[in-house]
Amino acid sequence: MKTILLDENLPVALRHHLADFDVVTVQFQGWSGKQNGELIGLIDGRFDVFITGDKNLRYQQRIETRQIAIIELPFTRLRSLEPYLDQIRAAILNSVAGDYIQVG
């Protein structure tokens, strides 16, 4: 089972829609407010996938050398994300370390 970390810019309730995976949030880990570089360093090798709504992350970090995959979502509100839930699940299942996947 893949381990997923949801960024703090996403709704916590999204984890209930991803019940097939082991999902925790940045807030639950006590990492709220961490900058992207520091956060990626903390999660690399500890989680399989990092899901974020941050559209700038791909330009700020070298992802291909990391042990995690990053999935960027098009919206940060649950209601707006609901039509994309199947795509999000597929992206998680098909992701491998070093991937940067944009959903939507």
Q: Which of 5-14, 18-27, 59-68, 69-78 has the lowest mean pLDDT?
A: 59-68
Each residue of 62-77: pLDDT tens digit? 677 789 999 999 999 9
Exposed / middle / buried, residue 53 (Cβ in 10 Å: 0-12, 13-18, 19+): buried
Is the pLDDT at 58 greater than 80? The verdict is no
Q: Can you name the residues that pair with 23 across neighbouring β-strands?
A: 4
DSSP 35-90: -HHHHHHHHBTTBSEEEE--TTHHHHS--TTSSSEEEE-S-SSHHHHGGGHHHHHH
Each residue of 28-57: pLDDT tens digit? 999 999 988 888 889 988 999 999 999 877
**Average pLDDT of the residues in 84-99:** 96
What's the pLDDT band for 82 if we cut at 50, 70, 90? very high
Any idea what DSSP says for residue 4?
E
